[in-house]
Amino acid sequence: MKILVLPGDGIGPEVCHEAVHTLKALAQARGLSIEFQEDLAGGAAIDAYNDPMPDEVIEKAKAADGILLGAVGGHKWDHLAGAMRPESGLLKIRKELGVFANLRPVAVSAALADASPLRPEAIAGTDMLVVRELTGGIYFGEPRGRSGEPGNEEAFSTMRYSTGEIERVARVAFEWARRRGGRVCSVDKANVLVVSQLWRDVVTQLQAREYSDVELSHMYVDNAAMQLVVRPSQFDVILTGNLFGDILSDAAATLGGSLGLLPSASVGGKVGLFEPVHGSAPDIAGQGIANPVAMLLSAAMMMDELDKPIIATAIRAGVETALNEGLRTADLHREGTTTKVGTAEMAARIRAAALDSLN
Ligand code: IPM
Ligand code: MN
């Protein structure tokens, strides 16, 4: 099994290091051989290659079985524009790999119920999967542009979806619903946007044609944002476009108490891309205090995708044990009730507990 590791920027390298260490330990315990390759992405690649995602890195990615990505971006590169931004590198690799479905599972573990910004009774039972379209919509739509003189400029982006793009990601959502609670809530802005009207029609027709066993509902994105913080437990699978999914998944992620917990898997192409939802967090980079859980859970999603569910389950069990024992990184620590640990210590406990769970 060949894994390409793209640590990226900020806290990316710190959390990636722990994920690789953990995968190595678990693979060895299971007699599985994983070959890790590493390369640069985002700001680190701009510094070294003057390109946030060089074609050589894309080629290596396409030749791998899975890709672990930390995070990209940081203040150092904030002045750059367009294709030279670290974020453009991330968008490029998603597009090149054709990973059109981004899966972001949000479950609030009992150990963390009191870390949620919501009251415990409001958060109880929350267990949802956000399926976000990832290679289309307004992130990639043409035409786009900016013109005019300073003081009198105009700029535009285009939100565009075709029937095929909507159907393929909707299928992913319906399939997941079958394996979960059997319900899909499709989120759009069909009361205003014509692109959302097509989205709603296509999803409705696909459900009627192929997924009548799955319950489908529709929600406008503004209402969905509110429902996520009022009664998040009502959701099973949320299906939505690229921009709405970006926004809603950050809101959903923080229900669990910290963005540092939310993993993601981007699938649909030949090779999957696995990255935590949190960004590069430049304010805490290099201090050894970042939460490694989202990255470790992303590695678990990768092992599931690569048909190694035993390793995936062990990682999740390790996370559960560490949290149940009261270990917390700074983002989740509460003075007097939990034990504050750094990135390495948190990951080491998760790793040890994961290994124990294998026996
Ligand atoms: C995410 C991030 C990216 C996105 C950025 C860094 C381009 O916010 O993965 O959610 O908007 O998709
Ligand atoms: Mn985002």
**Which tens digit of pLDDT belongs to each residue from 175-209?**
999 999 999 999 999 999 999 999 999 999 999 99
Q: In which band, very low, low, confident or very high, does the pLDDT at 113 lie, cut at 50, 70 and 90?
A: confident
How many Å apart are CA 139 and CA 344, to the nearest integer?
A: 35
**Which tens digit of pLDDT belongs to each residue from 293-332?**
999 999 999 999 999 999 999 999 999 999 999 999 999 9
Q: In which band, very low, low, confident or very high, does the pLDDT at 152 lie, cut at 50, 70 and 90?
A: very high
Ligand 1 atom at shortest distance from the alpha carbon of 102? 9
The residue ranges of DSSP E strands in 123-233, in sequence order, are: 127-133, 145-149, 152-156, 183-188, 215-220
Residue nearest to ligand 1 atom 5, measured at CA: 87
Whether the Cβ atoms of residue 237 and residue 184 lie closer than 8 Å to each other = yes
Locus of tokens 């415990």: 120
pLDDT at residue 256 greater than cutoff 90? no
Domains of the chain with CATH codes: 1-100+268-359 (3.40.718.10), 103-136+163-256 (3.40.718.10)
**Averaged pLDDT, 45-51:** 97
Q: Which residues pair with 240 in a beta bridge?
A: 132, 187
Q: How many angstroms separate the alpha carbon of residue 335 from the centre of ligand 1?
A: 32
pLDDT at residue 254 greater than cutoff 90? no
- The residue type of 287 is Q
pLDDT for position 138: 98
pLDDT for position 86: 96
How many Å apart are CA 96 and CA 102, to the nearest integer?
A: 14
Whether the Cβ atoms of residue 275 and residue 264 lie closer than 8 Å to each other = yes
252 lines ligand 1 (CB under 6 A): no
How many Å apart are CA 197 and CA 151, to the nearest integer?
A: 35
Q: How many angstroms separate the alpha carbon of residue 356 from the centre of ligand 1?
A: 35
Mean pLDDT over each residue of the chain, to the nearest integer = 97
Indicate which residues carry an active-site annotation. Answer: 139, 189, 222, 246, 250
Q: How many angstroms separate the alpha carbon of residue 277 from the centre of ligand 2?
A: 6
Angle between helices 309-324 and 12-29 (to 10 degrees): 120
Residue 242 CB coordination number (10 Å) = 24
